[in-house]
Structure 1
């Protein structure tokens, strides 16, 4: 599957809107598009899926490694992949958009805000192309998409300013309908605030789908190819609703490949399924704290965990496994009571980084001494009891208390870190549940 990377000159330049418009343009031109996200994001991919109709692949060097990145790319479907970047093209030391493009050997289409410029758009694009050589990155900035650009003289001025060897792939016209609402973790999810397809189709008409398809490249094959994973005799229950919606497609795929998977909704009050282990992904439990407290599912989950059922929670899952959750407005709700911690939401984020953890003892996702890589981004903090036990020391990142992550109790584990299936953490979880 061929593809290209959509890099921005900065955060907030409109990469998501450009990606969705390009998906529409390519589909109108007869292509089957596989969306992807360079970076550990859950929100932008939800918008990709809402428009493209298939899950967006997560492509992050820190989470997956170069070989895992290529394996994950090749699991996609369709004939062309549009990889939306993270932040600005060169931003980020763990896995920048430029690093992902280099690892996949894919060309970069640069998104430039043209609202108040013409020749300056070309100067910006040239600067981004030349900077790759300055820092020794082997990437090709093939051309630009002009965001918030009018037609006529404005568009022609940008075209004329670009050198002959840099493509003008079109523009995204200014349109108030092409604005995605945001909240404390970023944009609202695609299921809540999907952009109107009519507006995206209108934007797509200003894009050169044929030239975008022609510039796409083919990534190298992974050194270690995908192999069929050995199945385990286990059923995994995955919480899946508006409170628990941050999960990578590769994680769900790994569960389905190696075990039986069932889903349930704690917000709706579904009973905990008959299973050998429970996975609580991240999400927005703070927005549904009243429902979670009154529904009864978390109470049952706490009882089952006390009886030895393995429960793995990531970020929002950790919050739901705690004793209580207090919103930034001061409203307190009782949670599952599995972990000895009380969680409080804040107005500002408390951690944002790529993370590396070292296991100090054997736990659900790692053996003693092993390290796993992941990502943290949360607005909550956890006040832990004095006798709390941690499974990990933080090599990089903040974790729960600055030095540790992974609260453990009974056979359960709650972390602030999100990990990818390529880390091996979910394989260890499955094997533990299949004993």
Structure 2
């Protein structure tokens, strides 16, 4: 599957809208599109899926390593892969957009805000291309997609000013209908705020799909096989119940795939009033429990969880899932809502983010996702703080990140684990969880 990366000049330049317009344009040209996202993100991929009709792949070198990112890319399906970058092209650490493009050997199409520029768009693109050589980076900027550019003389001026080797690949017109509302943690989810179909179709008309397909190329194969190959359970498989609704919406496509490879997966919606399904283990992904705190407080599934967890049912909650397992949640308006009460913590939402980073944890004891001494990699991004009870037990030292209590993370009670860290399946956390059921 050939592909290319859409990298921005900075955060806020309109990469997600540009990505959706490119996906729409390629599909209208008869191509089956596999979307992907550089860096740890659950929100932008939800918009990708809403337009492409298939889950977006997460490509992050900290979470997966180079070979893991290549494996995850190759698990996608379609004719062409469109990878949306994170922040500005060169911004970030080893998981920057540029680093992902290097690891996959994919060309970069630069998304530039052209609303108030013309020749300066060309100068910006040239600077981004030349910076790669100056910094010793193996990054190939092959073209420009002009965001918020008008047609006629504006588009022609941008196209004519571009130097040789940097193609004009189209424009995204300025339009209020191409704005996605945002809130804490980023944009609203794709199923909440899809772009207007007519506006998206109009934006797609300005994309040069023929040239994009000419520039796309296939990444190299991974240097090694997946160490988990052949480990899928045969015969009697454990059953994992996975919460899935607006309160528990933050799960990687690769996580669902891996769980289905090693277990029978039953999804349930606490917000819809579903009871907890019969299962050997429960996974609560992150999401927005704070937006649905009142509904969760009366959710049958949470009361079922409290009973089953006390009986020894293995439960794993990540970020929002950990919040749902706590004693209470205090929203930003000061209202307190009872949660499942499994973990000895009271969680309070704040007005600004409390942690945003890639994470590495070292287990200090055996827990559902790791044995003592093992390390897990993931990421954290949350607006809440946890006030831990005096009897709280923590299972991880934080090697990198903030954790739930400074240099510690991983609240444990019975066979339940709650953590602020979102783990990717490449870390082995979910294989470990299923293997202990």
Post-superposition Cα deviations, 1:21-62, rounded to whole Å, max 9, x if no partner, equal: 000111111111000000100000000000000000000000
Give 1:421 shift.
0.8
C-alpha separation between the residues in 1 aligned to 2:202 and 2:303? 49
The match for 1:282 is 286
Question: What's 1:132 paired with?
Answer: 132
Please name the residue that 1:70 is paired with. Answer: 70
Instruction: State the superposition RMSD in angstroms.
Output: 0.9
Contact 1:38 1:100 in 2 (8 A): yes
Equivalences for residues 258-297 of structure 1 within 5 A: 258-297=262-301
User: Using the alignment, how far apart are the partners of 1:356 and 1:135 within structure 2?
Assistant: 28
Measured in 1, the distance between the counterparts of 2:168 and 2:268 equals 47
CA distance in 2, matches of 1:25, 1:240: 30
Aligned residues: 433
After superposition, where does 1:367-382 map in structure 2 within 5 Å? 367-382=371-386
Distance in structure 2 (CA, Å) of the matches to 1:82 and 1:10: 18
Alignment-derived partner of residue 220 in structure 1: 220
Q: Please, what TM-score do these two structures have when normalized by structure 1?
A: 0.98
Deviation at 1:123, TM superposition (A): 0.8
1:178 matched to 2:178: yes
Aligned partner of 2:117 in structure 1 is 117
Map 1:42-81 to 2 at 5 A.
42-81=42-81
Taking the aligned partners of 1:185 and 1:366, their CA distance within structure 2 comes to: 28
Distance across 2 between alignment mates of 1:229 and 1:195: 41
1:314 maps to 2:301: no
SS at match of 1:85: strand
Q: Quick one: which of 228, 231, 253 aligns to 1:229?
A: 231
After the TM superposition, which parts of structure 1 deviate over 3 Å for at least 4 consecutive aligned residues?
none
Are 1:246 and 2:250 matched, yes or no? Answer: yes
Q: Tell me by how many angstroms 1:398 deviates.
A: 0.3
SS, match of residue 408 in structure 1:
strand
Q: What corresponds to 2:334 in structure 1?
A: 330
Deviations 1:283-315, CA, capped at 9 Å, x for gaps:
000111111111222111011000000100000
Counterpart of 1:389? 393
Shift, 1:373, TM fit: 0.8
Task: Tell me if structure 2 keeps the 8 A contact 1:94–1:354.
Answer: no
Query: 1:151 maps to which residue?
Result: 151
SS in 1 for 2:329: strand
Deviation at 1:217, TM superposition (A): 1.1
* Distance in 1 separating the partners of 2:430 and 2:134: 39
The TM-score normalised by the length of structure 2 is: 0.98
For the residues of structure 1 that align with 2:313 and 2:370, how far apart are their CA atoms?
18
What is the match of residue 348 of structure 1?
A: 352
Report the Cα distance in structure 1 between the residues aligned to 2:325 and 2:64, rounded to whole angstroms.
27
* Residue 10 (structure 2) pairs with residue 6 (structure 1): no
Q: How many Å separate the matches in 1 of 2:202 and 2:130?
A: 33
Corresponding residue number in structure 2 for 1:201:
201
Deviations 1:82-125 (A, max 9, x none): 00000110111140000000000000000000010011101111
**In the alignment, is the contact (CA less than 8 A) between 1:267 and 1:291 conserved in 2?**
yes
Equivalent residue, structure 2, for 1:93: 93
Report the CA distance between 1:225 and its aligned residue: 2.7
* Aligned partner (choices 390, 408, 411) of residue 407 of structure 1: 411
Rounded to whole Å, the distance in 2 between the matches of 1:231 and 1:337 is 33
- After TM superposition, give the deviation of residue 185 of structure 1 in Å: 1.1
- 5+ long unaligned stretches in structure 2: none
Does residue 299 (structure 1) correspond to residue 303 (structure 2)? The answer is: yes
> Is contact 1:359–1:366 with CA below 8 Å preserved after alignment?
yes
Q: Within the alignment, does 1:426 sit opposite 2:430 as a pair?
A: yes
Question: Secondary structure of the equivalent of 1:263?
Answer: strand
In structure 2, the CA distance between the partners of 1:229 and 1:196, relative to structure 1 (3 Å rule), is farther
Q: 1:315-374 CA deviation, whole Å, 9 max, x = no partner?
A: 000000000000011010000111110000001000000111111111111111111110
How many angstroms does 1:178 deviate by?
0.3
| Alignment partner of 1:28 is 2:28 | yes
